[in-house]
Chain A
Amino acid sequence: MRTLIGFEWRRLHRSGFAWGLPVLAIVLVGLFFWFSQVGVDQYRQELLNHIQSNDEILSQLIGGYRQTIADDLETADRKAEAKKDMALAVPIGDALDAQQQAVEDRSTPRYLRAVIAANTRTIAFDNALHRVLLQDHHTLTAQTKLYQTMLARGWALEDTHYTTQPVGFLVSWQSWLAQPLAVLLGVALLSTTWVTALFTNNADLMATTVQPWRRWALANWFWAVLSWLAFLTLSNAAGWLAGQWLGTPLLSGTTPWHAIVPGTGQSYWIVWVQEIGISLLWFIPMYGILLLVTTYAEKWGRQR
Chain B
Amino acid sequence: MRKIMTFIRFEFLKRRRVWPVGIVALLITISLAVGFGVQKHNQSVFVQDYSTQLKKRYPNENSLGRSELTSFQKSEAAYHDWFFKSVAVNVVLNGQGTREIPGFGVRLYARTASGALSDAFARTYDQYRYMRQKNITPMFPDSLVIVPVAGDLDKLSDTDKQWVMRNNPHFYVQALPFLWSLLQSNGVVALLLAFGVLLSGGQLAKELAHKRAHSHWLTLQDEPFPAQVGIQFGMMLTTMIQVVFVPLLAVTLGIGLLFGFGDGRYPVFSYQNPDGFGSKEAIMPLSQYLTNTLSLLFLLTVFLTLVMIILSMLLRNGWLTILGTILVVGLSLITPPIPGLPLTYFHLNDIVTGIAQEQAGSDALQAPAVFINLGWWCVGLLLLIILITEWRRIVHRLQRIHLASQKSPASL
Residues of A near any B CB (own CB < 8 A): 31-32, 35, 38-39, 42, 45, 49-50, 53, 57, 131-136, 138-139, 162, 176, 181-182, 185, 188-189, 192, 195-196
Contacts and interface: CB of A to CB of B under 8 A. Distances in A.
17 contacts: A35-B334, A35-B336, A42-B337, A42-B360, A49-B151, A50-B154, A133-B114, A135-B155, A135-B156, A136-B156, A136-B157, A139-B156, A176-B334, A182-B330, A185-B326, A189-B320, A192-B319
B160 interface: yes
B112 interface: yes
B155 A196 contact: no
Contacts of A53: 151, 154
A40 to B, nearest CB: 10
Interface residues of B, number: 29
B337 to A, nearest CB: 8
Contacts of A49: 151
Nearest to B113: A132
A134 B330 CA distance: 38
Interface of B: 112-116, 151, 154-160, 317, 319-320, 323, 326-327, 330-331, 334-338, 359-361
B110 to A, nearest CB: 13
A117 to B, nearest CB: 19
Given A45-B361, A53-B151, A189 B317 contact: no
Given A31-B331, A135-B154, A38 B319 contact: no
A139 B154 CA distance: 10
A185 B319 contact: no
B319 A196 contact: yes
Contacts of B160: 136
Contacts of A45: 361
Nearest to A24: B327
B157 A139 contact: yes
Contacts of A38: 336, 338
A185 B328 CA distance: 11
Given A38-B338, A42-B336, A182-B330, A192 B157 contact: no
Contacts of A31: 331
A57 B118 CA distance: 12
B116 A132 contact: yes
Nearest to B361: A45
A137 to B, nearest CB: 8
A189 B334 contact: no
Contact of B323 (A162, A176, A188): A188
